[in-house]
């Protein structure tokens, strides 16, 4: 017997099929935003060299670096830290942040991503 999709115990996202959208960092592919019982969203973001400094009032973002240029950095408020593949950084609400250099990042956003919660100075 086939299981009703609404009763399924899992969800699948194929990032190759998700259309990228512009974001302050570059291009984001966002998954699970429409899944009611999942508290967050998962993004794969291709970050350009010209990322914009921004912050969130409600959202916590966790960046897991998949690919990075050798000189890649993350600005967190006034501090610049070097980043590399395999590294993970959790960014609390209110922390101004931006990527410096080219990179590909898996981002876990809690609660669900909301474009109304992107703030610029």
Per-residue pLDDT reduced to its tens digit, 76-90: 999 999 999 999 999
Q: What is the pLDDT of residue 5?
A: 56
List, for residues 55-106, the tens digit of each pLDDT value: 999 999 999 999 999 999 999 999 999 999 999 999 999 999 999 999 999 9
Who has greater pLDDT, 13 or 48?
Answer: 13
Q: 1 pLDDT band (50/70/90 cuts)? A: very low
Q: 25 pLDDT band (50/70/90 cuts)? A: confident
The residue extents of the domains of the chain are 20-113
User: Which residue's entry shows tokens 């501090």?
Assistant: 79
- The span from the CA of 76 to the CA of 73, in Å, is 10
**CATH architecture of the region 20-113:** Sandwich (2.60)
């Amino acid at each position: 017997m086939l299981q009703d999709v609404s009763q399924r115990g899992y969800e699948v996202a194929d990032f190759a099929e998700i259309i990228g959208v512009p974001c302050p960092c570059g291009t984001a592919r966002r998954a699970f935003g429409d899944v009611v019982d999942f508290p967050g969203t998962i993004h794969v973001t291709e970050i350009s060299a010209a990322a914009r400094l921004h912050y969130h009032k409600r959202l916590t973002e966790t960046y897991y670096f998949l690919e990075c240029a050798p000189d890649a950095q993350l600005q967190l408020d006034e501090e610049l830290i070097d980043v590399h593949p395999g590294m993970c950084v959790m960014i609390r609400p209110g922390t101004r942040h931006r990527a410096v250099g080219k990179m590909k990042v898996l981002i876990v956003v809690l609660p669900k991503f909301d474009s109304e919660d992107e703030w610029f100075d």
